[in-house]
Every structure is written in structure tokens, then in C-alpha cells.
């Protein structure tokens, strides 16, 4: 087998755009018909909108199909066929895997998968890992708490599928995981940016181990947008002496995007497996041009037990202007997932994405990796408080750092902050997804 | 590199593999070890179809036409 082949699928990943669009239409027609035929929930939704499978003849026709939101999935669940409800498209006995969303935005959503769906999850991840240079010679350490959240489960199976040796770092604490990485000379890691940074901090400050001197040469991050935020990626790569790659996916969707080895400053959408539409939240129109942000509406073409058809993910993304140097024809989204529509909020009349604050904080040497943003309102006055940690070696530069932080924040986010500079280790640490942005406006009575 | 890949040949072999595994599954109706392993093989075959056959089966489109 040719391990220097850069593409997991040398045909699909380089299809001419017009062929790719034709394939997407065919595959959309197939999954739409599947959902319409097998799911009471989807059929009722589509009948109410007056759209049926035979109405989908062009890609433009797809816009007639109503979107599905997470809140709708929450409403149908907990009923028969228990616990998934009417969106289940297969007999219960064909469901072989249960997962649920992390609950970051509310009540978790249940996700049933058949064995074929699970193969498909791993297949999507194979595109990711192969593009990021994973090969059978790799020993991949996965430091996550294997549980009901899908997180890196599919990454685990995909790494096995493409021939890597996989070390499940489940029920180990951070120190034990670092020692295992060291002992086994693991070459690759998977984790959230928050946790991979936290591992490096623990190794350095609590164990006297320099992670950049370990044998890890590549890290795949997911779960948060950090690995596509330049200053966070830089910190991760410097800390571990490794290439750090981003990937975005979701429990209800699948593993829909990946950064390739060329590190183009964005993520390829796997357009052979997914249809990504970017929708202007104000007008509802589809955005095709580069550089205009909108929310993602996505379809997974081959997922059957609980289909994902025009799912309104609330992820905020934009198309990149240029194709990637890697030669893939799968389009790029610039800067990865910029944020969630729910998180991008107006403060003092200015739109702000938490990722913009992260880019500033982690771009300043002398500040730790952690930060916390609290938006509040007293009377008619809105405030935004930013808490950061000063590293011990930067104590004598505190005034300069504060001034630099104020300037950069004003420049990049157009807002003035109440800054609080804390001691190292005083802010919360997270093992999976961090919750660093708190909006207390309207929540005083809770 | 693409020119060395014969998609039609791959597709034909996937189809005949599917036929063989579906037959195995049928024959294993009273033989769980055969039926369940055949079921898993069908899931893997579906991945081959996603990777190869879907694009071949599109009428009038040549995937190598790039």
C-alpha cells in the first residue's frame, strides 16, 4: 500500500466542483427520501412545508426543505420508540450505539446509530486523520474519558481502521496520562485545545517534564474552535513541539470538516459526505461568496438511524476565498468554526465572538492559557469583565501586559473591558469543553 | 496518480462482494456467527460504496474527468 498517497480518497477529494455538486444533489435526494419515508417526525415536518422527495430536482430546490433545530430534537425524545422518539428511522434492535450531546447548550440530545452509521462515523474520521498525516506507524494516545459523549470515540476507531496503534487514555488522571505518553513514546494525541494545553501546563509546572521533548509530533483537536485560532494553535504547537490540526464535528451531525497537513488557516468541508450551506441569519439567503459570515445548515448524506437533514447547527462560518494548496477540491471554511450563533452576542451595541477575545489573550506572552469573560448589566449599563492569569515569570511586566491587553482588545473587538489580572492557577481548569463565556444579563433573579 | 485507479473495476468488485456477503447472511439465518459477521461486512461494504460506487453510479458523470 502507498502510504505517501496524500488523500484518503484520491477520487472524491479531488472531484471537479461541478461533479461534486452533482454528487451532492444525488446524495441529498437519497437521504431526503430516506428521512421522508422512514421518520414520522421528518415526514410531518416536510408535509407541513409542502415539500416531497420528487420536488428536489436541483440544489436550489433544497432550500425548500425546512431546517431542523436541536430544540426540536429535544421535544421528540423521551417518547416511543424509547428514548429516541419519532425521528428514528430503523427498528430499535438495529441501533447498536447510543451517544448524546454534551449538553453545553441545554438538555442533551440522544443520538442512536446503527453499526453502519458507526462505520460511517469512523470513515469520516479516516478522511481527517489521513489528511493530517496519521499512518500505521503512529501510536495514538487518546486522553479522554470514554463515556456517553461521542467526543473522540470515532477518532479512536478511525485510527484503528487506518492501522495505527491506539492507546485509550480513559480512566487516568492528567499526570498518569503524561507518564503513559512518555513511557510509550506516543506520536499523536487527540483532545480539546483546552485539555491539551492543560496537559502541557501540568507536565511543565507539576511534573518538570517539557512536553515538547516528548515524542508527540501531531495533535488533532476538536470540541472547541481553539486549534483554528492562530494564537491558541501557536501555543499548542510550541508547548508540544508538534503540528496541531483542527477538526469540527458534532454528535447530531458527524465529523464534517478537517484541517489538512498544509494548515491553510481553515477547515475543509468533507463535501462528499456532507452538504454545508451558509445562511445569512438576517435574510435567510444562502451565502456563496467568500468572507461573509453566516450560520451553518448541514446535511449528512449517509447517516441513517437518526438522519441529519438541513440541521441548523448555529455554528458561525464563512467560505475561504482561495482553494487550498493541498489540491483537495473540498471547499475551505476560513478560520474554522468562528463561534456559535448563540455565543455571538451584542455587548454595548457591538457584536462580539468569544473566539476574538481568545485570540488576543493567547497572543500575549506572559499571560496564561486560561481566561474568563463575564458580561453583565447594572441598570442600563452593560459591562464586560475579563479575567486573565499572569504567569509567574511575567510578574515584573504586569503593567505593560495590562496596557497591551487593553490596546489589543480595543483594536480587535472594539470594546472596553474591566480587566482583572489574577494569579496563575486561580481560574477554573476544564477537561473537556471549557465554559469561559458567561452572560449574566437577565439572569439576576436565578 | 489518479490515472492508475480503475474505478469501474473497483465498483464491479464491490458489487460482487456485496452479492456474496448478502448470500452469506441469508445462509446464516440459523447460524448467528455467520449472520452477524456478514451484517458487519455489509456495513463495511457500504463504506466502499460511499467511497467508490456512489460517484460511479451517477449517470453521465466521469469521476476521472478532471
- Are A418 and A347 in contact by the 8 Å Cβ rule? The answer is no
Do residues A283 and A363 both lie within one domain?
no
- Supply the DSSP string of A406-418, one letter for each residue: HHHHHHHH----E
pLDDT by residue (tens digit) across A58-72? 999 999 999 999 889
pLDDT by residue (tens digit) across A270-296? 999 999 999 998 899 999 999 999 999
Beta bridge partners of B1: none
Of A5, A9, A16, Cβ closest to residue B51: A9
For residue B31, what pLDDT is reported?
Answer: 98
Residue B1 pLDDT > 60, yes or no? no
Residue B59 pLDDT > 70, yes or no? no
Is B62 contained in some domain? no
Do the chains contact at B66 and A15, CB–CB below 8 Å?
Answer: yes
Q: Rounded distance, CA A97 to CA A157, Å?
A: 13
Residue A441 pLDDT > 90, yes or no? no
Q: Taking the CB of residue A410, how many other CB atoms lie within 10 A of it? A: 13
Structural domain including B16 reads 7-55
Do the chains contact at B65 and A273, CB–CB below 8 Å?
Answer: no
Do the chains contact at B65 and A11, CB–CB below 8 Å?
Answer: no
A56 and B CB contact within 8 Å: no
* Mean pLDDT of all residues belonging to chain A: 93
For residue A444, what pLDDT is reported?
Answer: 57
Region of poorest pLDDT, from A6-15, B11-20, B50-59: B50-59
- Are A295 and A312 in contact by the 8 Å Cβ rule? The answer is yes
A-chain residues near B49 (CB < 8 A)? none
As for how many domains chain B has, the answer is 1
A-chain residues near B54 (CB < 8 A)? 23, 26-27
The band of A231, judged by pLDDT with boundaries at 50, 70 and 90, is very high
Residue A446 pLDDT > 50, yes or no? no
Per the model's pLDDT, the better-predicted residue between A204 and A412 turns out to be A204
B40 and A CB contact within 8 Å: yes
As for how many domains chain A has, the answer is 2
Helix axes A230-240, A354-361, angle to 10 degrees: 50
Is A444 contained in some domain? no
Q: Rounded distance, CA A314 to CA A66, Å?
A: 15
Of A22, A115, A273, Cβ closest to residue B43: A115
Instruction: Give the start-end residues of each E strand in A107-239.
Output: 110-114, 139-142, 165-168, 188-191, 218-221
Counted across chains A and B, CB pairs separated by less than 8 A come out at: 61
Do residues A378 and A418 both lie within one domain?
yes
Do residues A101 and A179 both lie within one domain?
yes
Question: Which of A272, A305, A340 lies at the terminal end of a domain, its last residue?
Answer: A340
Do residues A137 and A187 both lie within one domain?
yes
A4 and B CB contact within 8 Å: no
Q: Rounded distance, CA A150 to CA A193, Å?
A: 17
C-alpha cell at A317: 462560518
Q: Taking the CB of residue A344, how many other CB atoms lie within 10 A of it? A: 19
Short-list A189, A206, A286, CA closest to A240:
A189
Do the chains contact at B1 and A119, CB–CB below 8 Å?
Answer: no
Is B60 contained in some domain? no
pTM: 0.89
Q: Which distant-in-sequence residues (6+ apart) come within 8 Å of A83 by Cβ?
A: A77, A110
In whole angstroms, how large is the CA radius of gyration of chain B? 15
For residue A219, what pLDDT is reported?
Answer: 98
Do residues A353 and A322 both lie within one domain?
no
Short-list B63, B44, B6, CA closest to A123:
B44
Question: Which of A340, A369, A401 lies at the terminal end of a domain, its last residue?
Answer: A340
Q: ipTM of this predicted complex?
A: 0.90
**At A382, which CATH number?**
3.30.300.30
Half-sphere exposure of A380 (CA within 13 A, CB side): 0
The band of A83, judged by pLDDT with boundaries at 50, 70 and 90, is very high
Q: Rounded distance, CA A12 to CA A20, Å?
A: 8
Of B40, B47, B58, Cβ closest to residue A26: B58
Do residues A315 and A363 both lie within one domain?
no
Question: Which of A316, A340, A364 lies at the terminal end of a domain, its last residue?
Answer: A340
The band of A343, judged by pLDDT with boundaries at 50, 70 and 90, is confident
Q: Taking the CB of residue A346, how many other CB atoms lie within 10 A of it? A: 10
Structural domain including A364 reads 345-439
Is A121 contained in some domain? yes
Is A445 contained in some domain? no
Do residues A217 and A353 both lie within one domain?
no
Give A 248-277 residues with CB within 8 A of chain B: 272-273
Is A173 contained in some domain? yes
Pairing of strands A381-390, A418-423: parallel
Is A446 contained in some domain? no
Is B63 contained in some domain? no
φ, ψ (nearest 5 deg) of residue A290: -75, 150
Amino acid at each position: 500500500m502507498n502510504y505517501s498517497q496524500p488523500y484518503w480518497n484520491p477520487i472524491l477529494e479531488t472531484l471537479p466542483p461541478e461533479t461534486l455538486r452533482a454528487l451532492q444533489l444525488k446524495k441529498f435526494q437519497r437521504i431526503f427520501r430516506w428521512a421522508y419515508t422512514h421518520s414520522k417526525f421528518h415526514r410531518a415536518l416536510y408535509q407541513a412545508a409542502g415539500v416531497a422527495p420528487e420536488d428536489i430536482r436541483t440544489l436550489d430546490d433544497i432550500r425548500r426543505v425546512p431546517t431542523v433545530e436541536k430544540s426540536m430534537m429535544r421535544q421528540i425524545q423521551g417518547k416511543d420508540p424509547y428514548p429516541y422518539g419519532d425521528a428514528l428511522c430503523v427498528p430499535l434492535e438495529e441501533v447498536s450505539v447510543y451517544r448524546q450531546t454534551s449538553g453545553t447548550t441545554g438538555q442533551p440530545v440522544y443520538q442512536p446509530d446503527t453499526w453502519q452509521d458507526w462505520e460511517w462515523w469512523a470513515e469520516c474520521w479516516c478522511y481527517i486523520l489521513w489528511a493530517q498525516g496519521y499512518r500505521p506507524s503512529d501510536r495514538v494516545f487518546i486522553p479522554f474519558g470514554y463515556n456517553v459523549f461521542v467526543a473522540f470515540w470515532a477518532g479512536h476507531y478511525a485510527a484503528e481502521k487506518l492501522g495505527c496503534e491506539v492507546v485509550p487514555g480513559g480512566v487516568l488522571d492528567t499526570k498518569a496520562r503524561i507518564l503513559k505518553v512518555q513511557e510509550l513514546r506516543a506520536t499523536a494525541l487527540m483532545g480539546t485545545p483546552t485539555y491539551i494545553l492543560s496537559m502541557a501546563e501540568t507536565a511543565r509546572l507539576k511534573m518538570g517534564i517539557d512536553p515538547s521533548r516528548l515524542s508527540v509530533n501531531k495533535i488533532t483537536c476538536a470540541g472547541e474552535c481553539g486549534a483554528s485560532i492562530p494564537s491558541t494553535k501557536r501555543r499548542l504547537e510550541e508547548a508540544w513541539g508538534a503540528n496541531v490540526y483542527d477538526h469540527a464535528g458534532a454528535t447530531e451531525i458527524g465529523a464534517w470538516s478537517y484541517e489538512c497537513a498544509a494548515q491553510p488557516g481553515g477547515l475543509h468541508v468533507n463535501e462528499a459526505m456532507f452538504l454545508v450551506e451558509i445562511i445569512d441569519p438576517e435574510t435567510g439567503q444562502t451565502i456563496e461568496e467568500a468572507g461573509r459570515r453566516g450560520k451553518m445548515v448541514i446535511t449528512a448524506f449517509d447517516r441513517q438511524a437518526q438522519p441529519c437533514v438541513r440541521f441548523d447547527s448555529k455554528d458561525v462560518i464563512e467560505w475561504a476565498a482561495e482553494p487550498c494548496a493541498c489540491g483537495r477540491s473540498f471547499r475551505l471554511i476560513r478560520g474554522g468554526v468562528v463561534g456559535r450563533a448563540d455565543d455571538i452576542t451584542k455587548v454595548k451595541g457591538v457584536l462580539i465572538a468569544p473566539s476574538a477575545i481568545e485570540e488576543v489573550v493567547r497572543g500575549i506572552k506572559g499571560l496564561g492559557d486560561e481566561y474568563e469573560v463575564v458580561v453583565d448589566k447594572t441598570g442600563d449599563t452593560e459591562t464586560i469583565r475579563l479575567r486573565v492569569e499572569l504567569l509567574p515569570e511575567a510578574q515584573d511586566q504586569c503593567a505593560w501586559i495590562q496596557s497591551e491587553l487593553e490596546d489589543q482588545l480595543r483594536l480587535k473587538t472594539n470594546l472596553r473591558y474591566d480587566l482583572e489580572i489574577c494569579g496563575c492557577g486561580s481560574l477554573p481548569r476544564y477537561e473537556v469543553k471549557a465554559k469561559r463565556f458567561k452572560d449574566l444579563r437577565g439572569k439576576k433573579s436565578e | 496518480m489518479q490515472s492508475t485507479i480503475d474505478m469501474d473495476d473497483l465498483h464491479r468488485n464491490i458489487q460482487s462482494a456485496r452479492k456474496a456477503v448478502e448470500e452469506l447472511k441469508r445462509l446464516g439465518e440459523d447460524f448467528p456467527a455467520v449472520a452477524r459477521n456478514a451484517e458487519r461486512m455489509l456495513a463495511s461494504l457500504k463504506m466502499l460504496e460511499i467511497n467508490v460506487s456512489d460517484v460511479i453510479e451517477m449517470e453521465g458523470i466521469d469521476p476521472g474527468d478532471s
